[in-house]
Amino acid sequence: MPTLTISDLNVSYGRIAALHGVSIEVREGEMVGLVGPNGAGKSTLVNCIAGVVPATSGAVAFGERSLIGVRPERIVDWGVSVVPEGRQIFTRLTVLENLVLGATTRRDRAQVDEDLERVFARFPVLKAAGSKLAGKLSGGEQQQLAIARALMARPKLLMLDEPSLGLAPLVIDEMFAWLSELHEAGTTILLIEQNATRTIEVADRTYVLNKGKVAREIEDSEAAADTNLLETYLGVASERPS
């Protein structure tokens, strides 16, 4: 399975630089966290990897393949799936249609049906709501749908952009539990979060992004006890339950 390698990545919106010289790596089977305050460039990084925001300079590679200038529909075909910020499920399509769209790039029909059953087993609420419009689901259910939809592509790398945002505390607990399960099942995960404490707990390694730069890399959760660090880079963000 390929490794995601980002080196010296710069992204600007017009004259405003969103990322300067970001270098990170996500190796096979790892769950890597990426935390940082609002406006640190976290979503820009995800969108750039997914191919919907162009890089100004630098390199993004998944295994041997460069993702720079590649269309988003091809990047997902190569095994990189996104659970985007704000979930972005198709509210006017049914739950089932949303899930089937997740498998757009796949041609192994029979296995897609098996995966659908697997997803329903993991998220039973989606099975019950299959023919309902996705817009009628609650926030927590929509988040499950967004994750399930991304899984339908059988991603080699799953990127989640602030999946805990807007969820009730109990649902956040559940969500982190699903992510740990997925990770144990072998999925490589890049988890972007404002909820730094939880992320550092579940991730193998965590990068701290601040003002468009990697401010620090935390190798294990012991470092999380370093409250000084959290205050320095994350400030209020880590306190906020979001």
92 binds other proteins (CB under 8 A): yes
**Nearer Cβ to other proteins (33/51):** 51
What is the C-alpha separation between 81 and 102, in angstroms, rounded?
9
Count residues binding other proteins (CB under 8 A).
24
Q: What is the rounded distance in angstroms from the CA atom of residue 154 to the CA atom of residue 106?
A: 9
Q: Map the footprint of other proteins across residues 103-132, applying CB under 8 A.
A: 104-105
The CA distance from 34 to 20, in Å, is: 16
CB atoms within 10 A of CB 68: 15
Using CB under 8 A as the binding rule, whether residue 9 contacts other proteins is answered as no
Q: Are 33 and 183 in contact (CB under 8 A)?
A: no
Is residue 102 within the footprint of other proteins (CB under 8 A)? Answer: yes
End-to-end CA distance of the chain: 34
List alpha helices for 185-217, DSSP H. 196-202
C-beta of 17 vs 53, nearer to other proteins? 53
Task: Specify whether the CB–CB gap between 157 and 81 falls below 8 A.
Answer: yes
Q: Which is closer to other proteins, CB of 73 or CB of 220?
A: 73
Instruction: Choose which of 33, 36, 84, 212 interacts with other proteins (CB under 8 A).
Output: 84
- The footprint of other proteins on residues 153-182 (CB under 8 A) is 153
Q: Which residues bind other proteins (CB under 8 A)?
A: 50-52, 71-73, 76-77, 81-82, 84, 88, 90-93, 97, 100-102, 104-105, 149, 153
